[in-house]
Amino acid sequence: MLEKTPFRTEVHGIAPGTSLLTLSGDLDYDTAAELFTLARDLFAGDVRHLDLDLSGLDFIDSSGVAALINVYNAAGEHDATMRIVALTSYLRHLFRVTALDQVFALPPKEE
């Protein structure tokens, strides 16, 4: 079996009401729920803006994409916003294929 990189999350409050959530490792079937639970708890607290740093993600599967959509929808339900501030070219390609680049706020492409 392919070795998995452990999924890690780190939350930093960077301004009042704004948190930076840094993800690394594999966001997949086994770890997707962890992300959603964490984000939901943040929105249920005082977080109004959530910045996601995805540049450390090694792999993401359909459940991982679903978790990101769930976070996006949860933000909407709490009158909060979600923004992706960093990502890999693989993720950018994936968001393009799934047309999520038109939904998520993504950082401008570095040339």
Partner 1 sequence: MTGLRPASHGVDQVRAGPFPEAPGEDLLRAIIEAGGEGVVLCGPDDIVVMTNAAAARMVPGIRPGRPVTGGETASLFGPGYPEGESREAAHGPLRLRIRHEVFGIAHRAWYLRDVTDETARADAALAEGRRTAFLIEAGRRLAASLNTRRCARATVELAVPFLADIAMVVLPPSGRRNVQWLRRTGDGPLQEGSVPVTATVGVPGLAESLAGFPPVPSRWLDPGQVPDWVLPEGFGSAGHLLVTPLPGNGVPAGALVLARHEGGPAFDEESETLVRLFASRAGAAISAAALYQEQSATTAVLSGHLLRPDLPVLDGLELAGSLRAAQHAGLIGGDFYDVYLPDSEGSGGPLLVLGDVCGKGAGAAVLAGQVRHALRTLLLLEDRPERLVPLLNRSLLASTAPNSYVTLALGTVETDGDGHVLMNLSVAGHPAPLILRADGTVEEAPVRGSMLGALRKIVVDVVTLDLAPGEMCLFYSDGITEAFGGPSGREMYGTQRLKTALATCAGMPVAAVVERLEQLSTAWLAGDIQDDRALLAVQARAVGR
Distance, in Å, from the CA atom of 106 to the CA atom of 87, rounded to the nearest integer, reads 8
Distance, in Å, from the CA atom of 94 to the CA atom of 99, rounded to the nearest integer, reads 8
Residues within the interface to partner 1 (CB under 8 A): 1-3, 29, 61-63, 65-66, 69-70, 73, 96-100, 102-103
Closer residue to partner 1, CB minimum distance, 11 or 100: 100
Closer residue to partner 1, CB minimum distance, 42 or 74: 74
Smallest distance from partner 1 to CB 62, Å: 4
Residue whose C-alpha is closest to residue 9's, from 63, 96, 26: 26
